[in-house]
Amino acid sequence: MFALILKRIGAAALIMMILTAVMFWLQRFSTGDPVRARLGPGASQAVVDAARAKLGLDDPVAVQYFRYLGGIVHGDLGTSIRTGRPVQADLGMFIPATAELTIVAFTFALLLAALFAVASALRWPGGRVFRAILTVGGAIPSFLVAIAGIIVFYKYLGVLPATGRTAIPDAPTGPTGMLLVDSAVHGRVDVLADAWTHLLLPAGVLALGPALAIGRVLRSSILTTLVSDHVRTARSVGLGELAVMTRHVIRNAVGPALSMAGLQLGLMFAAVLVVETVFAWPGLGQYVALSIPVDDFPATAGVVLILAAGYVAINTVVDILQATADPRIVL
């Protein structure tokens, strides 16, 4: 197991090295000039050249790359052209909102996937209706589901808000930056309830696609496990269906679903940017949406690297957990 962990960590580090190289070269080939953008269009060429020399942009490419890599290792993602602040400082302001939305959405996805798989495999009453609804919702692009959700639940029914994280102006901002946690810490029940209502629609939209993918894999795995020899043996000795499911079916069926869950959580990092834009959610999606039109490459690259690091880390952990659950798996 220790060798497996070292292997997966090494592979993750290699992937991140390759990604940093790709981002470095994309920045070099970008049509925008970060120095000119920082100094403004009125700066003379002599001032621009002096600034480029001061920033080390006239150094050899290899020197610039290792300086860029060293900065990333030490948490320096550069300076945002749009805000003028260090990118890591900006990300610290926007990441909590994205993390909160992603955690809640992924929790919804796991619950929906489990309900989808068990209801379909055991043929519960109403399972076909639930399966059809989730299949249709998961197959439609998330931005269309988001727009439809706003029209139905905000415009016509008026039961859920359409944008933002909260309508309460004096909501707490610390210590975590996640409203659900911070409102609970400060004992603000009003903020907690309001934050939940603002989360339900974007988190639900974000959860549909992953829930369908994970649920399908889990359902298939459960159906295969239900007809296996050890399950038939468990039933023959008098175990009830609940005991058979919890002791013999779920543990053996969860491996493929766990792998799919890790993949879907990683893909959710891309979908969350779109969903945040539709719902005006003040997270990384809004940060990127404001940075791209002004060619703020350091900010955009910082978001890409953070999301990619999260994706790689999650899949590394999933691989290790999957091997722990089933030691027969060779990765």
Q: How confident is the model at residue 54 (pLDDT cuts 50, 70, 90)?
A: low
pLDDT at 328 over 60: no
pLDDT at 241 over 90: no
What distance in Å separates the CA atoms of residue 302 and residue 286, rounded to the nearest whole number?
A: 14
The predicted model gives 257-267 an average pLDDT of 81
86 — phi, psi (to 5°)? -60, 140
The predicted model gives 40-50 an average pLDDT of 70
Q: Report the pLDDT value the prediction gives residue 310, as an integer from 0 to 100.
A: 84
Look at the block and give the residue holding tokens 């290899």. Answer: 62
- Angle, CA of 280, 283 and 287, to the nearest 5°: 90
Q: Report the pLDDT value the prediction gives residue 326, as an integer from 0 to 100.
A: 59
What distance in Å separates the CA atoms of residue 133 and residue 117, rounded to the nearest whole number?
A: 14
Q: How confident is the model at residue 106 (pLDDT cuts 50, 70, 90)?
A: very high
pLDDT tens digits for range 204-217: 999 998 998 898 88
What distance in Å separates the CA atoms of residue 250 and residue 242, rounded to the nearest whole number?
A: 11
Map residue 86 onto helix, strand or coil: strand
- Helix-then-strand count for the chain, H and E: 14, 0
pLDDT tens digits for range 285-309: 888 888 887 777 888 888 888 888 8
pLDDT at 101 over 90: yes
Q: How confident is the model at residue 63 (pLDDT cuts 50, 70, 90)?
A: confident
Top-tier CATH class for 87-162+207-325: mainly alpha
Q: State whether the Cα torsion 140-143-146-147 is positive or negative.
A: negative
Quick check: 33 and 44 in contact, CB under 8 A? no
Contacts of 267 (CB under 8 A, 6+ apart): 209, 210
Most confident listed range (98-107, 120-129, 214-223):
98-107
Q: How confident is the model at residue 107 (pLDDT cuts 50, 70, 90)?
A: very high
pLDDT at 331 over 70: no
Q: Report the pLDDT value the prediction gives residue 315, as an integer from 0 to 100.
A: 78
187 — phi, psi (to 5°)? 70, 25
What distance in Å separates the CA atoms of residue 320 and residue 241, rounded to the nearest whole number?
A: 30
What distance in Å separates the CA atoms of residue 197 and residue 192, rounded to the nearest whole number?
A: 9
Most confident listed range (12-16, 124-128, 177-181):
177-181
Quick check: 215 and 231 in contact, CB under 8 A? no
Cis peptide before 282 (omega within 30 of 0): no
pLDDT top residue among 264 and 43: 264
pLDDT at 21 over 80: yes
**Lowest-pLDDT choice from 16-25, 49-58, 94-103, 222-231:** 49-58
Q: Report the pLDDT value the prediction gives residue 76, as an integer from 0 to 100.
A: 83
Q: Domain ranges in the chain?
A: 2-73, 87-162+207-325
What distance in Å separates the CA atoms of residue 66 and residue 84, rounded to the nearest whole number?
A: 23
Quick check: 5 and 316 in contact, CB under 8 A? no
Q: Report the pLDDT value the prediction gives residue 258, as an integer from 0 to 100.
A: 78
